[in-house]
Each structure stands twice: as structure tokens, then as C-alpha cells.
Amino acid sequence: MKKTARIETRETYEWLMARGRYGVRRIEKLGWKRLAQIYDANKPNSAIRRAINAECRRLGYTPRVILALNA
């Protein structure tokens, strides 16, 4: 029996939306796989989930497709 560890994330909305040295937000730099992990670790309708959904839509994707591909 294979155990799958749930990745614990301590990211906050402020951390996710913070701009780096070159003015790019972290949400724009992280990969979809990492964003899917952060999304799954947070509660429904939280600010982080809404921000990830908005980022998916901004890039022309539906959040359901992106998050299902990286599950």
C-alpha cells in the first residue's frame, strides 16, 4: 500500500501576490503544479483560491482544466 503525503503549505495571500525584485508577482512565476498544490491545501472560497482562479482565467484557461491536469 503506497502512502501519499499531503504537502503542507504555509503560503498566505500576501506572499502569493507579493512582487519580486523585477516587479513580477509570485503567482505569475510559480508553475501550475505548485499552484495546484497550494490550491488544494487551502479552504474553498479563500482569498488564495480566488486569486488562483483569477490567474487561470486571466491566461485564458478554466481553473478546472488546469487543476485537473496537475492533480
The total number of residues shown for the chain amounts to 71
Integer Cα distance of 71 and 63 in angstroms: 12
Is residue 7 scored above 90 in pLDDT?
no
- DSSP H helical segments within 1-71, as ranges? 13-17, 26-29, 32-41, 47-58, 63-69
How far are the Cα atoms of 2, 8, 23, 37, 68 from residue 5, in angstroms, in the given order? 10, 9, 34, 12, 18
Please check whether residue 70 lies inside any domain of the structure.
Answer: yes
Please check whether residue 54 lies inside any domain of the structure.
Answer: yes
Residue-level pLDDT at 64: 83
- Number of domains present in the structure of the chain: 1
pLDDT tens figures, 12-69? 999 999 999 999 999 999 998 899 899 989 999 999 999 999 999 999 998 888 778 7
What predicted TM-score, i.e. pTM, was given to this entire model? 0.78
- What's the domain range around 61? 35-71
Please check whether residue 4 lies inside any domain of the structure.
Answer: no
Please check whether residue 59 lies inside any domain of the structure.
Answer: yes
